Amino acid sequence: MAGTRTQADAAREAVVEAALGRLGLDAKARLLSGQDTWTLPALAEIGLKSLVMSDGPIGVRGVHWTADDPSVALPSPTALAAAWDPALARRAGALLAQEARRKGVHVLLAPTVNLHRSPLGGRHFEAYSEDPFLTGTIGAGYVAGVQSGGVGTTVKHFVANDAETERFTVDNVVCERALRELYLAPFEIIVENAHPWGVMTAYNTVNGTTMTEHHHLVNEVLRGEWGFDGYNVSDWMAARNTVAAIEGGLDVAMPGPQTVYGDALAQAVRDGKVAEAKVDDAVRNVLRLAARVGILEGAEPAVTEYPETVDGSDLAREIARRSFVLVRNHNAALPLRPDGTVALIGAAARDARVLGGGSATVFPASVVSPLDGLTAALPDGTLTYAVGADPNTELGIADKGFELRAVCRDREGNILGSGAAPNGHIQWMGPDLPDGVTHDALHTVELTGTFTPRDTGPHTFGIKGIGAFRLTVDGTTYYDDVQRPAKDDPFATFFGAPVPHAHPELTAGRPVEVSLTHVVEFPENIPMKVVSFTLSHQEPRRDPDELIAEAVEAARNADTAVVVVATTERVESEGFDRTDLTLPGRQDDLVRAVTAANPNTVVVVNSGSPVELPWREDVAAVLLSWFPGQEGGAALADVLTGTHEPGGRLPTTWGSLTDAPVTEVVPTDGQLPYTEGAFIGYRAWERAGRIPSYPFGHGLGYTEWTYESAEVRGTTVTVRLRNSGARAGREVVQVYLAPGEPDTDRPARWLAGFAGVEAGPGESVETVVELPRRAFETWDEETGSWIFVKGSYEIQVGRSIADRRVAVTINV
Ligand code: BGC
């Protein structure tokens, strides 16, 4: 059961009941329906303020989707999981609560605790791991941290939203055992240990019922069995049916103002289709949340003293370096020699990809790229830079060299108002419009200003967005027509690709006038009013062979080549899955050519989730940096120069797509059967007898560890190990449980616990890891219950699932 009820809970509950009793049906139904994109309505009659929600998970965007409302950007969730440290996740959460309070946000729409089922899942960077225990443990730390700052969370997306293809409608067919042992497990661990104030139900269907209507999983399992007492909010636009949603335990339908709740819900009660008691249950959950976050008059908030103020940049940098996974370090290539020269290579080394796209997007006030970080850290004259290969085949948001503003006009062309445009991306959601502008009067938005090019040559200009546009550059109109989406996703306007329309020859340093006018439309089938479009741009493209040759030359003249390879917005984002795991563009060719010229090549992989590294045995070192957040380049310099060791361990198996045992993300006739049952990630790799490129849990530091002993006492295992290297370090001690008798129905072994230890050179250290009862249990489909599986087990302790150092057999 989740949490113990305190006196304060009981007092809050009394205020909630009293407030509920003072509300009429219409007000209650209104409270359950978004009033706009991010908020619920205030109800003055009970002293309730408007509840504000915001994405999550790596920062708090707030209610404005724009670069002029910046947020701290932490490393991607895959990175946070790679640190294998719930206490660090908790500190991340506390910082995010601080950010939320600064922005007037009461609930953070995070964390994402779906699993890395197939490596093709496009949104994996936003989830933690392929392992439910690691996911749940990191998620619990994160939730506890956010809520310690008085801000709510919505653990999402409940449940089995493990891929993006047909995400609104896909019916994931999952056996109960896989649901319990894998997909529900992180939610269960978090509910039990961190008592979240919210859950977000997913777009997808599970076993024939869409998740916003899933009575069994929401009412019976989440609330009934686990005792969840928070609110259940739909994913954005996921709620489709008034009666089925309220019966299925959905409390809040977002976003508004048009939802299946509100008037429609009140009417359903009046028509006798829904019992008013069901509405009361949902309202009670929302009022309880409001009381906890301190916006219900008369109720004491759950948190009255906030944790100490956190420096966001410092924490972002610490998490980044503790998340970097050094998967290969041949002949101790890293850390770099202090007096050596470095050739830094790669487009992402200069224009870093610090975060994944989609709803997880935030706008950091500043970003430290690898080039910035290494320039600051290395002595003058020791660093050179070359692009080498640019994987960005597509246009980016018009930014560097652009000075823009947004002018809003009515149908007659009169100016209604104008807004700031820090770059070429406009996204005004709901009431978030420039002063003096209303949705009713607004007809066009013109992004207008100047562009001063860095380079001479053919520049490309394009448009991302849906509807009518006119694009003019330097006095020539290149496009005056209507763009329509290629795909029937209501979010296509946000996540679609920009379309190139103009290729003018421009001269470096000579400013030109630029204008993009958009006729706004507010389609009836989209419940929120959004103005969203982008002026896109791409600098002149250089010959790819010439770029590689330039990089090879730079590498030849340096002691070490550091190549940063990356995925792009087109490879990893929200709303679509991947089709392969290869690095985009000519990046593999680049690494091969650079390594041939200089064997002392260190490759930094800037991706949120696995990519194939076909040259991995030929290079000196491989460091995975994930999407490292705003301080990524500074953290990279810390780790490359050796002021800090890389602290990460793989939260997910890295291997080739051909070898990966579970890959399918494309539904057939709307259904995606999880045919692999309870075997995903390392469970599946081991069963298939395949060796991945890098196993689950793998990661090297800058010191060595000798495991001395493991001893089981009761439900704990005590591990003794020694730092046998030459410098202080941190180790993640991993405990796996392996059934003594081979059992084809169960994995060969699974993660049962872990602990971080620190020790100086030569020092021994002891740590105690709890063995949870659940690690010994399996879900029995016949009885519909957990069964404790008796027998002999080997407790295997080590550095990764493949590098097990000590073991002890027990009988339970
Ligand atoms: C995403 C959610 C997100 C919501 C609001 C949805 O498309 O799936 O994770 O919280 O949008 O931005």
Give the DSSP letter of residue 3: S
Q: Ligand 1 atom 8: the closest Cα is on which residue?
A: 235
627: CATH? 3.40.50.1700
Domain boundary among 518, 538, 558: 538
Residue by residue, DSSP assigns 453-511 as: -SS-EE-EEEEESSEEEEEEETTEEEEEEEE--SS--TTHHHHS--EEEE--EE-TT--
C-alpha 236 to ligand 1 mean position (Å): 6
d(CA 303, CA 288): 14
Q: What is the pLDDT of residue 357?
A: 85
Helix axis angle for 312-323 and 86-102, nearest 10°, is: 150
CB of 360 within 8 A of CB of 57? yes
Same domain, 144 and 97: yes
Q: How confident is residue 491, by pLDDT bands cut at 50, 70 and 90? A: low
Inside any domain, residue 230 = yes
Q: Using DSSP bridges, classify how beta strands 152-153 and 325-329 pair: parallel, antiparallel or unpaired.
A: unpaired
Element (H, E) at 548: helix 544-556
Give me the CATH number covering residue 132. 3.20.20.300
> How would you classify the pairing of strands 460-464 and 383-386?
unpaired
β-pairing, 209-210 vs 205-206, is antiparallel
Residue 577 has pLDDT above 50, yes or no: yes
Report the amino acid identity of residue 597: A
- Is 682 part of a structural domain of the chain? no
385 CA to centre of ligand 1 in angstroms: 38
Gyration radius of the chain over CA positions: 27
Rounded to the nearest 5°, which phi and psi values hold at 90?
-65, -40
Pick from 77-81, 432-436, 492-496, 519-523 the range whose average pLDDT is largest: 77-81
Residues 210 and 225 in one domain: yes
Residue showing tokens 């080997």: 794
Residues 142 and 265 in one domain: yes
The closest residue, in CA terms, to atom 12 on ligand 1 is 359
640, 758: one domain: no
Ligand 1 contact, 82 CB (< 6 A): no
How confident is the model over 466-485, as a mean pLDDT?
A: 94
Q: What's the pLDDT band for 525 if we cut at 50, 70, 90?
A: confident
Mutation pick for ligand 1 pocket among 52, 55, 199 (CB with most ligand atoms within 8 Å): 55
Domain holding 770, by residue range, is 703-811
pLDDT reported for residue 599: 98
482 and 527 in one domain?
A: yes
* 504 neighbors 477 (Cβ within 8 angstroms): no
Q: How far apart are CA 743 and CA 790, in angstroms?
A: 13
State the CATH number of the domain containing residue 713: 2.60.40.10
What is the predicted pLDDT for the residue at 242? 98
Give the nearest ligand 1 atom to 109 CA: 10
Q: Is the minimum distance from the CB of 109 to ligand 1 under 6 angstroms?
A: yes
**Do residues 152 and 277 both lie within one domain?**
yes
26 is catalytic: no
Q: How far apart are CA 141 and CA 90, in angstroms?
A: 4
Contact (Cβ atoms closer than 8 angstroms) between residue 134 and residue 651: yes
Q: Are residues 330 and 443 in the same domain?
A: no
**Does residue 305 lie within any of the structural domains?**
no
Domain boundary among 634, 660, 686: 660
Which tokens in the block code for residue 206? 């599970």
For ligand 1, atom 7, which residue shows the shortest CA distance? 236
Q: Measured from the CB, is residue 85 less than 6 Å from ligand 1?
A: no
Determine whether the shortest distance from the Cβ of 168 to ligand 1 is under 6 A: no
Model confidence at 379: pLDDT above 50 = yes
Q: Does the pLDDT at position 128 exceed 70?
A: yes
676 within domain boundaries: no
Q: Which atom of ligand 1 is nearest to the CA of 491?
A: 7
Are 531 and 551 part of one and the same domain? Answer: no
Q: Is residue 301 part of a domain?
A: no
Same domain, 338 and 466: no
Do both 486 and 446 map to the same domain? yes
Helix (H, G, I), strand (E, B) or coil at 606: strand
Q: Which atom of ligand 1 is nearest to the CA of 110?
A: 10
Please tell me the predicted confidence (pLDDT) of residue 393: 81
Q: Are residues 488 and 552 in the same domain?
A: no
Q: Furthest-apart CA pair in the chain: how many Å? A: 82
Please give the structure tokens belonging to residue 405.
């503003």
Q: Which own/partner contact pairs does 543-546 have at CB distance under 8 Å and 24+ positions apart? A: 544/389, 544/585, 544/586
Write out pLDDT tens, residues 32-77. 999 999 999 999 999 999 999 999 899 999 998 888 789 999 999 9
Give per-residue pLDDT as tens, 293-335.
Answer: 999 999 999 999 999 999 999 999 999 999 999 999 999 999 9
First-to-last CA distance in the chain?
25
Q: Do the Cβ atoms of 642 and 650 come closer than 8 Å?
A: no
- How many angstroms separate the alpha carbon of residue 202 from the centre of ligand 1? 9
Do residues 458 and 540 make contact, with C-beta atoms less than 8 angstroms apart? Answer: yes
Domain contains 683: no
Q: Is 164 in the pocket of ligand 1 (CB under 6 A)?
A: no
Average pLDDT in the 623-640 region? 98
How many domains is the chain partitioned into structurally? Answer: 4
Please, what is the average pLDDT of the chain?
A: 95
pLDDT digits (tens, 9 = 90+) for 423-455: 899 988 888 899 999 999 999 999 999 999 989
**Residues whose CB falls within 8 Å of the CB of residue 392, separated by 6 or more in sequence, listed in order:** 347, 538, 568, 585
The Å distance, Cα 167 to ligand 1 centre, comes to: 12
Is residue 404 within 8 A of residue 418, CB to CB? The reply is: no
359 Cβ inside 6 Å of ligand 1:
yes
pLDDT at residue 493, as a whole number: 57
Cα(110) to ligand 1 centroid in Å equals 9
- The answer as to whether 509 is a domain residue is yes
CB 444 within 8 A of CB 408: yes
How many alpha carbons fall within 13 Å on the CB side of residue 432?
Answer: 23
Percentage of the chain surpassing pLDDT 90? 90
Alpha-carbon distance of 498 to 517, in angstroms, equals 15
**pTM above 0.85?**
yes
State the closest ligand 1 atom to the C-alpha of 112, by its place in the atom list counted from 1: 9
Measured from the CB, is residue 730 less than 6 Å from ligand 1?
A: no
* Same domain, residue pair 716 and 793: yes
Residue 344 in any domain: the answer is yes
- Binning pLDDT at 50, 70 and 90, where does residue 1 land? very low
- Whether 710 has a pLDDT exceeding 60, the answer reads yes
Q: If you take atom 4 of ligand 1, which residue's CA is the nearest one?
A: 236
- CATH number for the domain spanning 420: value is 3.90.182.10
pLDDT at 529 (0 to 100): 85
457 falls in which pLDDT band (50, 70, 90)?
Answer: very high
Q: How confident is the model at residue 2 (pLDDT cuts 50, 70, 90)?
A: very low
Look at residue 795 and give its three-state secondary structure. Answer: strand
Name the catalytic one among 85, 162, 171, 235.
235
pLDDT tens digits along 714-762: 999 999 999 999 999 999 999 999 999 888 899 999 999 999 999 999 9
- Per DSSP, the three-state class of 748 is coil
- Which of 507, 538, 569 is a domain's end point? 538
Tell whether ligand 1 has an atom less than 6 A from the beta carbon of residue 55: yes
